[in-house]
Amino acid sequence: MIPRFRHLPYWQRNLYVVWAAVFTAQVAFSIVTPFLPAFVAELGVEDDLPLWSGLVFSVNFLTASLIAPVWGSLSDRYGKKPMMLRAGLGMGLTYFAMATSRSVGQLVFWRAVNGLVSGFIPASNTFIASNTPEEELGRSLGLLQAGGAAGLILGPLVGGAIAAYTGPRGSLIVSGCLLILAALAPYVARLEERSPVRKEQPHVLQDVRESLQNVNLRLLFSVQLLVQAGLLFVQPTLPLYIAQVTTGRVEFITGAIYSLVGVATIIGSPLLARRASRHAPALLTACLAAAAFFNVGQGFSFNPWLLAFFRFLFGLANAGISVSSSLMMALSVPAEERGRTFGLLQSVNALGAVLGPLVGGALGDTFGLRAPFFATAAVLAGSSLLVRSAWPRLEKVSAGVPATPGPQTGAGRTGAA
């Protein structure tokens, strides 16, 4: 180990290594995702390519939403680092299996298995949230989010180069190798996990029930479901909308506009994290309202430059939403219960990822390509009002004031009532 690195505080060593692991994992994910439709076509699908491509995408989120609370509860009992190893190795091996698919049915099956063994990013977030001093928590989560966004930007570039020489199967194999490297990194670097563990055996349904008795978590989960679904309303129609307002070089402009949210996240997450550490509820409310306004701007854009401008500003607001909501969730529960909290968050996000494109596609088909932007704006504005109504309670959590416990159904504290 590098001497200077060894003498850093343990939580900083954790942050730097996990940042690199999250970056690597997100590169691995985004190497493959843009080229899955091409792989589906390579497997012989012609007539129903959009349908099968959608199924290949969504089945991963569907199975992840079902299993995530289980992994979250187990991480509180057995540690977050083992969950990172489990998820990284499991997904890496599953990506190798996907590369051997000989039919679209086999690919769907392995994508479903991938969702069942997933959870590397939530486990990484929980590891940092549970092993970082609370005064450094906002900054650390912001840097971690920026690392993930950087990986999402780099991945398609790397994936395009790999796919050009080896095809989608080669991209899957490279992604699997990267995921295994990310899983091993915390052990090779000998990261310390000092967060307390739960002594009682995990009971998933009881953990879910206790988490939902926490009024703050219930509010934040509801907002996150609305936000995640709303953000993905535009996913099926955004490429079509870009083509509608663009003349020439459509592919290049589409790629550039897609990358802007990631670039904004890299810039905005560390900066907004500083404010989140002091005023998380106010930041969440403001960013939700700003994101709603910027979606209206996207809906009224009449050229790609204006669309790109509002898309970038929307990315900055989205960075603030993610950092502030994650911070408040972490502060709403004791460190030994943060695994199940972030596990439930993964379920909520996965459910939103399934519902959002379905609703957005239907809106675009029925009311036109601008409609999903306006629907997203309405959802985000409503979420902003919902958070604003709970400011007094959320401000106490953000300031570190102990929350009033809700009904107790287990040994752990349930958090604010």
Give the pLDDT confidence score for residue 295 in this predicted structure.
96
Domains 7-192 and 209-406 share a fold: yes
Give the pLDDT confidence score for residue 105 in this predicted structure.
92
CA atoms of 173 and 206, how far apart (whole Å): 39
Give the pLDDT confidence score for residue 357 in this predicted structure.
83
> Which residue would you say has higher pLDDT here, 22 or 196?
22
Give the pLDDT confidence score for residue 112 in this predicted structure.
95
pLDDT at 409 over 60: no
pLDDT at 348 over 80: yes
- Select from 276, 287, 279 the least CA-distant residue to 384: 287
Q: What is the CATH number of domain 7-192?
A: 1.20.1250.20
Characterize 100-129 residue by residue with b for buried, 16 or more Cβ atoms within 10 angstroms of its Cβ, and e for exposed: ebeebeebbebbbbbbbbbbbbbbbbbbbb
Give the pLDDT confidence score for residue 186 in this predicted structure.
93
What's the mean pLDDT in 392-401?
Answer: 66
What's the mean pLDDT in 142-146?
Answer: 89
pTM of the complete model: 0.77
The residue length of the chain stands at 417
pLDDT above 90 coverage of the chain, percent: 33
What average pLDDT does the chain have?
A: 84
- Select from 305, 301, 275, 299 the least CA-distant residue to 287: 275
Quick: pLDDT tens for 202-249.
576 777 787 778 888 888 999 899 888 888 888 778 878 888 888 877
Give the pLDDT confidence score for residue 109 in this predicted structure.
96
Give the pLDDT confidence score for residue 197 in this predicted structure.
61
CA torsion sign for 287, 345, 347, 315 is positive
pLDDT above 70 coverage of the chain, percent: 91
Quick: pLDDT tens for 42-77.
898 877 776 787 788 888 888 988 888 888 888 877
What's the mean pLDDT in 151-177?
Answer: 86
pLDDT at 22 over 60: yes
Where along the chain do its domains lie?
A: 7-192, 209-406
Q: Which amino acid is at 31?
A: I
For residue 319, with 0-12 CB atoms within 10 Å meaning exposed, 13-18 middle and 19 or more buried, which class applies? Answer: buried
What's the mean pLDDT in 306-317?
Answer: 95
- pLDDT band at residue 343 under the 50/70/90 scheme: confident
- 209-406, CATH topology level: Growth Hormone; Chain: A; (1.20.1250)
What's the mean pLDDT in 357-384?
Answer: 90
For residue 207, with 0-12 CB atoms within 10 Å meaning exposed, 13-18 middle and 19 or more buried, which class applies? Answer: buried
> Among 26-30, 86-90, 206-210, 398-402, which stretch is predicted with the lowest mean pLDDT?
398-402
Q: Are 144 and 18 within 8 A, CB to CB?
A: yes
pLDDT at 330 over 60: yes
> Which residue would you say has higher pLDDT here, 373 or 55?
373
What's the mean pLDDT in 372-378?
Answer: 95
Give the pLDDT confidence score for residue 400 in this predicted structure.
55
pLDDT at 404 over 50: no
What's the mean pLDDT in 292-318?
Answer: 94
pLDDT at 416 over 50: no
pLDDT at 413 over 70: no
- pLDDT band at residue 333 under the 50/70/90 scheme: confident
Q: Are 134 and 400 within 8 A, CB to CB?
A: yes
What's the mean pLDDT in 245-256?
Answer: 77
CA atoms of 305 and 257, how far apart (whole Å): 9
What's the mean pLDDT in 338-363?
Answer: 85
CA atoms of 91 and 211, how far apart (whole Å): 27
- pLDDT band at residue 401 under the 50/70/90 scheme: very low
- pLDDT band at residue 4 under the 50/70/90 scheme: low
Structure tokens at 327: 């911070």
Give me the half-sphere count of Cα atoms (radius 13 Å) on the Cβ side of residue 273: 23
- pLDDT band at residue 414 under the 50/70/90 scheme: very low
Give the pLDDT confidence score for residue 347 in this predicted structure.
87
For Cα atoms 319, 57, 250, give the angle at the middle one, nearest 5 degrees: 70
Quick: pLDDT tens for 79-136.
889 999 999 999 999 999 999 999 999 999 999 999 999 999 989 988 998 888 888 8
Residue owning tokens 């990986």: 151
